[in-house]
Structures are given as C-alpha cells and as structure tokens.
Amino acid sequence: MSSLRFLDLLSTFVFALVGARVAADKRLDYGGILFIAAIASLAGGTLRNVFLGLLPIWINDLWIIVSVLSAVLLTLVFRRVTHISGSLLLLDTLGLAVATISGAKLANDLQLPWFAVIILGVITAVTGGLLRDILCQLEPTLLHRETIGTSSAIGAIIFVLCVKFSLSIELASLIGGAFVILTRLTSIRFDLHLPKFKD
C-alpha cells in the first residue's frame, strides 16, 4: 500500500467517525448519520481531485467506502453520543493533519507549484468539516475558532519547505503533520484565534 493511499484511508476513517458522532449528537436518523459521515470524510479529497482533473478516490477504491461504513457502524454499535471534546477532538486533529499532508503530497507528486501544494492541502483538510457543520446546522468551526484553517496551512507550508530543502517525502510528511497537530492543540489550549473583524 502506498503512503498516499494509506493517508487517504486513515483520514477518511477519522473524519467519517467524527462526522458520524456529530450527526448522532444532533439525533439524526441512520441515513442522516451515514450521509454526514460520507460528506465529512469524502468531500475534501473529492474537491481536491476535481481541481486536479482526477476521478474522486472513492470511485475506484472500495476500501474508502469501507472506511466510511466502518466508522458509521462503530458509532451505531456503541451508541455513544460524544460532544466535540477530549478524544474526539484529538481524532479530528489527527484527521486534519493526515488530510492536509495527503492533499499536499498528491499535489507535490504531480509537480504543481508550491502555492498550489499548500492550497490543495488546506482544501483537502477543511472542506469536509465545513460542510459537516453546515449540514448539521452548527456554526462552522473553521470560520470562527480553533484556527483549523491556519493549522492546516502551517502544516502544508512546513511540508513544502521540507521538500524544498531536499528532505525525504516521508520525513516532510511527518514534520508537516506534526506542525498541524501542534498548532491546533496549542490554539485550543491557550484559546488562540485569528483576529476578528470589528466595527
């Protein structure tokens, strides 16, 4: 299994699990939980591939679908409703890091310009969570707290810099992903946010 495919599978499962838990918390029916899990986990990678002129990964990879179904099944079997805190927040942060590097790595493999690598990394990471919150009628976390977009962008930038300085892709991925996690957890721990517009 290639490292890119492994990253896609891991981020798909993690985002689907978080999406299913958020949908369960909103008391959606089983169909709604499955739909939100699918949107949360597949939207980012699908949009990335559309921009790149590639087929969405779930069309040709059954294991992507299996990852989504597994996350939903896990949620339904344990019947736990978990608000976004604690372990669920850590899972979401891990998914953010993995998705960022997955998107950036694919763009880098296609030898796209450095700025495209960063933008596609961020798009892959944040799109699913944004749509998840909108569909569940929650104020999108991306737009007002926890510096999700900033954390993803920093990780993608670090990935690009590591590649530019000739580090291996594997090491660049680890370092970039670590910066995503560190930035987000630091912002949560110390309640750091981007400045907000004021009249």
Beta carbons of 108 and 117 less than 8 angstroms apart: yes
pTM of the complete model: 0.89
d(CA 171, CA 174): 5
The pLDDT score that the predictor gives to residue 104 is 96
pLDDT digits (tens, 9 = 90+) for 143-197: 766 688 999 999 999 999 999 999 999 999 999 999 999 999 998 888 777 777 7
The pLDDT score that the predictor gives to residue 144 is 65
pLDDT digits (tens, 9 = 90+) for 36-82: 999 999 999 999 999 999 999 899 889 999 999 999 999 898 865 55
What type of residue is 6?
A: F
Report in angstroms the alpha-carbon separations of 120 from 50, 102, 114: 11, 9, 10
